[in-house]
Structure 1
Amino acid sequence: MIDEKIVIGDGTKYPLNGMLSIPDEINGLLPAVVLVHGSGPSNMDGKVGNNYPYKDLANALAERGIAVLRYDKRTFVYGKEMKNDTGLSVKEETIEDAILAANFLRKDSRINGNKIFIIGHSMGGMLAPRIDAEGGNFAGIIIMAGSPRKLEEIMMSQNNDVLNSLNRFLKMIAKKQIAAISSKFNNIYNLSDEEAKSTKVLGKYVRAYYLKEIGEHPAAIYLQALDKPVFILQGEKDFQASVEKDFNSYKTLLSDKQNVTFKLYPNLNHLFMPSVYGEILKAKKEYKLPQQIDKQVIQDVSEWILSV
């Protein structure tokens, strides 16, 4: 396998360093994958604690004959400049660069332009169908630990998971804070875009517009319109995406569609690595332990890509 340093969005306002992993043996044109990050700033390796899931994926898939493109997330490199942008949405944060990455691969003479896939992890999985629709034009979509729910719904259920594991005194304090956030969230869709841009809903920088914009482009609409192959996978011990509310909701939503494959993995966490503590309060500790993506996940993903 060869790692080639590349730049996504060269000549734009936000050029991003990236890596193209190319298999050693090239027999004919290569299938290829664009890796798309979850929420928050993240480097091209998808570093979480002492784990590097995107690097794992890139290396393992390249060994199986699939080219993989990964890159630093825009907010990872330009977060300081972008945090004061009141009109920031997932379009600027994630979607534009994923489309640029797909186009970058299409210009590479070693790549089969009709066999370019997207792997979206977590929020990247939520956005993958939209990225496809807005110009990614992928051959197939892989959603790892994604969600068909609205972002604020996911945030609320994560807050409630934390709440349920607190002692009584902390619960009282947290309950009030969570109720205050909830009432802000409930009002998002009553605001005009301009009002939403000037309304802060979380911390200093997260504005209502960010949530409103993503909420007005629900994953369900894109997924139900798709007839290209989709592979949805999740770890059973994922405490950030829920089996019941996310994985099973995808299944219900897409139950009549022949183009979708589902797989749930026992004992794997949000990074598709073996579960250690299995609870949201110990997330930091869990991801501190260096691990690698489960071999079965790698095998299933590569076999699925090569079968399309």
Structure 2
Amino acid sequence: MITRDTWAEGPAGKLRLRWTLPPGEGPFPWVMYLPGYAAGSLAFHPEGTVDPLRCLLSALNEAGFATVRAEKRGFGGGGGPKAQDAGFEEEHADLAAALSAVTRDERVRGERGVLFGHSLGGLHAPRLAAGVAAVRGVALYGVGWLTWAEYLVASQRRVLGLSGASPVEIEARVRVLERYNARALHGGAEPAEALEGIEAWGRWLGVDEHGRQLGRTGRYWREVQACPVASPLLALEVPVLAMWGSADWQSQREEHVALVEAIHAARPGMARFEEVAGADHDWRAHATPEASMASGWTGDFADGVAEALLRWLRER
């Protein structure tokens, strides 16, 4: 793996673009990785630890593809306020600026590439691809077909069930979640305000001492809720791959299947569903969702993720 960094000019300042390259002079076909919601650096984990992202990108390099990922604002030496305070749409604008810089880079000039949306990055991918001639496909992993509020309820029912919670406890927690969402996602309240009367559930809901939920502002999550899911995917004129791992307890197989079926109905033959046996949401190898939950975000890389993605890429 050969690593290089370049810079893009984003709306709030410079954004570091982290490249990994195959041997040779290029230009190379390319894959741009779009991560989920976490507001942190996209630098690789320290050497000697299992880093699923490094493993996947290395497999792509070995197959002749360049890869690139844009650091979120304020990370990797980039400018502007930290991503924790940015909205979802501001993050989308940063990614659009990064994609524009990627398509002009000499390493990939004249080559067409694929956007790979992981988790909430899957909401960005189809919107970014629209009208960009250099994009020849959209790959997705661990994404959704529901609105954010719908997903949260469905996901928590599944996660609580896998954790062994009783039907009574599941119902009670879902009611708390729906009460919180009514305020935070639909009513415009900030996370701390939305906890009024249900403060004891703050940690379970992911609200921290800084008044953020899962490390992001209330505005970020309201913009995720407002982001269209179906229409950008159905408007795409390029092939779509939707991958889901059988050990993924954070996203649901049914949503991926429904997504592909909807695209098939609109544009026959333009979408594929791939179930990756033994892969979890973080691309780690586990036999079951329960095993993944118990692992504490550890485990070997699930090679099937790279294999499924490469099978599809080689057809493009």
Structure 2 residue 249 is the aligned partner of structure 1 residue 253: no
Unaligned runs of 5+ in 1: none
Query: How far off is 1:288 after superposition?
Result: 2.0
Note the alpha carbon deviations across 1:181-238, whole angstroms, 9 max, x for none.
20342466764xxx45798546222455433322332221011111211111111221
Structure 1 partner of 2:119: 122
Please give the per-residue CA displacement for 1:233-265, whole angstroms capped at 9, x wherever unaligned: 111221111112x21221332232221122112
The separation in 1 between residues aligned to 2:93 and 2:4, in whole angstroms, is 22
Select the residue among 180, 183, 207 that pairs with 2:179.
183
CA distance in structure 1 between the partners assigned to 2:31 and 2:311 by the alignment: 13
Whether contact under 8 Å (1:4, 1:21) holds in the other structure is yes
Partner SS for 1:288: coil
- Tell me what 1:34 maps to: 32
1:307 to 280, 291, 315: 315
2:286 aligns to what? 275
Q: Which structure 2 residues correspond to residues 30-109 of structure 1 after superposition, within 5 A? A: 30-45=28-43, 51-74=50-73, 81=82, 83=84, 85=85, 88-93=86-91, 95-109=92-106
Q: Distance in 1 between matches of 2:298 and 2:131?
A: 36
Question: What is the CA–CA distance in structure 2 between the aligned matches of 1:177 and 1:299, rounded to whole Å?
Answer: 38
Q: Which amino acid aligns with 2:264?
A: S
**2:140 matched to which residue of 1?**
143
Distance of 1:181 and 1:167 partners within structure 2: 15
Deviation of the 1:144 alpha carbon: 1.2
TM-fit CA distance, 1:273: 3.0
SS at 2:112 equivalent = strand
Percentage of identical aligned residues: 22
Q: From the superposition, tell whether residues 16 and 4 of structure 1 become closer, same or farther in structure 2 (CA, over 3 Å).
A: same
Distance 2:186 2:230 in 1: 21
Cα 1:137–1:279 shift into 2, 3 Å: farther
CA–CA separation in structure 2 for the residues paired with 1:80 and 1:175: 39
Which segment drifts farther, 178-187 or 119-128?
178-187
Q: TM-score, normalised by structure 2?
A: 0.77
Deviation per CA, 1:122-169, whole angstroms, max 9, x where unpaired?
11123311222386962211111111211222222232234333455x
AA partner of residue 298 (structure 1): A
Give 2:200's aligned residue.
none
Normalised TM-score (structure 1) = 0.79
Amino acid paired to 2:121: G
| Paired AA for residue 87 in structure 2 | S
Amino acid corresponding to residue 157 of structure 1 in structure 2: A
Q: Would the aligned equivalents of 1:114 and 1:139 in 2 still touch at CA under 8 Å?
A: no
Which structure shows the higher helix fraction?
1
Task: For 2:44 and 2:121, locate their aligned partners in 1 and report how far apart those are by CA, in whole Å.
Answer: 11
- Bigger drift between 253-262 and 296-305 goes to 296-305
Q: CA separation in 2, counterparts of 1:275 and 1:54?
A: 16
- AA aligned opposite 1:253: A
Q: Shift of residue 113 of structure 1?
A: 4.1
Contact 1:35 1:69 in 2 (8 A): yes
Which shifted more, 271-280 or 136-145? 271-280
Structure 2 match to 1:266: 277
Kindly report which structure 2 residues correspond to 1:283-298, keeping only aligned pairs within 5 A, or say none.
283=293, 285-289=295-299, 291-294=300-303, 296-298=304-306
Alpha-carbon spacing, 1:210–1:9, altered in 2? closer, same or farther (3 Å): same
Structure 2 letter corresponding to 1:142: A
Does 1:225 find its partner at 2:224?
no
Corresponding position of 1:155:
152
Aligned counterparts of 2:2 and 2:222: Cα–Cα separation in 1: 41
Deviation at 1:33, TM superposition (A): 1.3
Which secondary structure state, in structure 2, belongs to the residue aligned with residue 30 of structure 1? coil
1:105-129 CA-to-partner distances (Å, cap 9, x unmatched) read: 2222231445022111111123311
Aligned twin of 1:24: 23
- Whole-angstrom CA distance in 2 between matches of 1:167 and 1:299: 35
SS, match of residue 34 in structure 1: strand
Output one character per residue of 1:69-101: Cα deviation in whole Å (capped at 9) or x when no partner: 124333766998554x5xx431223x2232222
Give 5+ residue unaligned stretches, structure 2. Answer: 195-204
Shift of 1:22: 1.5
CA RMSD of aligned residues (A): 3.4
